[in-house]
Structure 1
C-alpha cells in the first residue's frame, strides 16, 4: 500500500513540545529519523558494486539532505534563520531543541516541578472523575513531552488514591471484580461511571435502599464529629428526626407561660 504523508508540521515559535513529537513521527514515516539520531555517513561502496548497490548507497547519502529539507520546510522563515548555517540535520535538530526546550539541566528542573504538581494533586469535591482525570493528564502529558516516560499504571494509581471519599465504596466494589494494577485510565473511569449508573438505577427501583444509602452517608458524617439528621434532636420540641429550622413544635415552657396570665386573671 502506498502512503503519502501530509506536509510537515510548521513550527512558528509556539508549542515546540508538540511540534517536536509531530516532526519526529513525520521523519520516521519517511525513514529519515535514523540520520537525526546517528548523523553518520553510509559506509563506502565495496569494490565492483552492482547497480543495485550503487542505487542503495546514493539513497542512503541522500537521506541527510532529505531530512534537512524536511526540517527547513517545517519551520517558519524566522526560525529558519537559526538553522540555515547548520551542516547536518542532527545539528539543526539539536540547535532547535536547545533553544526552545532548554538545556538538559533546565528540562530536569521543569520535570521536577511538574512531578511535584502531580504529587500534590487532589480531587475537589465539586469535580467529576472525568474533570479530575483531565487535570492529571494535562500534567502527565507535559512531563511526557519533555521526554520522560510516565506509565499508565502510575496515573491510575494516582487517581485511585486521591479520589474524594464519596468514591470509596465504588473503588471497593471495583477491586472485587477487576485487577486495578492492570486497568487503564479510560477503563477505570468508565467502570466507575457504570457503577454509579447501576446504583442510581437500583435506588430508583427501591426507594428504601436509597433511604438507607443516605442514612449511611449520614453515619459517615457522624464519624467526623457531626450527628446524622435522624439522630439529631430539635431544641424546641425535644423530638428526634429533624433540626431546629424545620421544628414546628413550641417549647412546653413557652406554652405554660402563655397559659399562666389567663389563670391569674380568673383568680
Structure 2
C-alpha cells in the first residue's frame, strides 16, 4: 500500500492509497479520488475543459495510481503514459465501456422502478432491499440520492401506513428530507399502530372481524328473541314476565301475544266490520 506524506499545518500525516483488487474497484476509486484531490493531483486525471495539465503532477498522479495495482493489472496498464489514460483503462476494465455501463445502469433503474413492498413484509426488511439497491448503484459508479429514496419509500408502502405518508407529504418538504428522517417517521407510526392493534397485524384484523361477528350474532339473537316482529323481550330467571314489557300496550308483566288490549281491539274491529257488512247487505235488499 502506497504511503503518501501530507503536510497540513506543519504536521506530517500519512495518507495511504488503497490497493486495487478485483472486487473493490468502486471503494478504491472513491478513496483514490479523494487522496489525489487532497494533493491537488486530480486535475491531472480529469482536467477541466481545455486546461493544460502540469507535467509533474501528471507523473506524480500516474506513479501513485500504478503503486496501487497488483502485478497482473500493472502489466496491462504500464504502457499508459498519463494518469488519465491509466485511470480510464482501469475504469473500462472493472466497469466496462460507456455503452455497457449505460445499459447496466438502465437495467438497474428499471429494477428500482419496479421495486415494491410486498404484502405482509416488515418495514425494516423492505428498507434493507432499498439499501441493497443503493449498493448496486454504487457498484456502477452512480448514486441514489435521498430524494429518490424518500419518494420510492413513500410511494410503495402498504395501505396501513398511508396516514403517515399523508402527514409527511402535507407538513414536510420531501424533496429536502433525509431518508433516515422519513424512515424514522414511518417506523414510529408503524409501531404505534401495531401497539394499538389498528394496522391489521397479528391481532388487529382478527379482533376487528370478531367484533363484527359478535354484532351480527347479537342482532340475530335479538331478532330471534322477539315474537312476531319484536313482541317479546329476552327474560332470564324467575320473574322474567314481570320485567318484560308489552310492545302493544306498553305495560310490564306480559308479552304482546298475551295482551288483552290487543284482543279487545281485534274483537271491536271484527264487530265493526260485521256491522258494516250488514249495513251494506241491508241496503242492497
| TM-score, L = length of structure 2 | 0.62
Is residue 211 of structure 2 the alignment partner of residue 230 of structure 1?
yes
- Aligned equivalent of 2:45: 36
- Structure 1 moving runs of 4+ over 6 Å: 212-215
Displacement of 1:72: 1.0
Moved more, 130-139 or 116-125: 130-139
Displacement of 1:149: 5.3
- Aligned equivalent of 1:57: none
Displacement of 1:17: 2.3
Select 2:115's aligned residue among 118, 121, 135: 121
Q: How many residues align?
A: 207
Moved more, 121-130 or 25-34: 121-130
SS at match of 1:6: strand
State how 1:62-73 maps to structure 2 within 5 Å: 62-73=56-67
- Aligned equivalent of 1:15: 24
Is residue 129 of structure 2 the alignment partner of residue 130 of structure 1?
no
Give yes or no for contact 1:231–1:240 (8 Å, CA) kept in 2. Answer: no
Give yes or no for contact 1:130–1:189 (8 Å, CA) kept in 2. Answer: no
State how 1:1-267 maps to structure 2 within 5 Å: 1=9, 2=11, 4-38=13-47, 60-148=54-142, 150-197=144-191, 203=196, 218=205, 228-232=209-213, 239=217
Displacement of 1:16: 1.7
Q: Return closer, same or farther for 1:109/1:3 CA change in 2, 3 Å cut-off.
A: farther
Larger RCO, structures 1/2 (Cα 8 Å, 6+ apart): 1
Supply the distance in 2 between the matched residues of 1:198 and 1:233 (Cα, whole angstroms). 26
**Larger % of helix: which?**
1
Moved more, 113-122 or 3-12: 3-12
Moved more, 96-105 or 169-178: 169-178
Give yes or no for contact 1:17–1:101 (8 Å, CA) kept in 2. Answer: no
Supply the distance in 1 between the matched residues of 2:190 and 2:159 (Cα, whole angstroms). 14
Supply the distance in 1 between the matched residues of 2:19 and 2:123 (Cα, whole angstroms). 35
Displacement of 1:143: 2.4
Q: 1:204-228, CA deviations, whole angstroms, 9 ceiling, x for partnerless residues?
A: xxxxxx5x7769x649xxxxxxx93
Q: Return closer, same or farther for 1:70/1:184 CA change in 2, 3 Å cut-off.
A: same
Displacement of 1:90: 0.9
Mark the runs of 5 or more structure 2 residues left unpaired by the alignment: 1-8, 220-285
Supply the distance in 2 between the matched residues of 1:218 and 1:240 (Cα, whole angstroms). 20
Supply the distance in 2 between the matched residues of 1:186 and 1:95 (Cα, whole angstroms). 37
Supply the distance in 1 between the matched residues of 2:114 and 2:56 (Cα, whole angstroms). 50
Give yes or no for contact 2:41–2:57 (8 Å, CA) kept in 1. Answer: yes
Give yes or no for contact 1:68–1:88 (8 Å, CA) kept in 2. Answer: yes
* Larger radius of gyration between Structure 1 and Structure 2: 2
Give yes or no for contact 2:80–2:86 (8 Å, CA) kept in 1. Answer: yes
Displacement of 1:156: 0.7
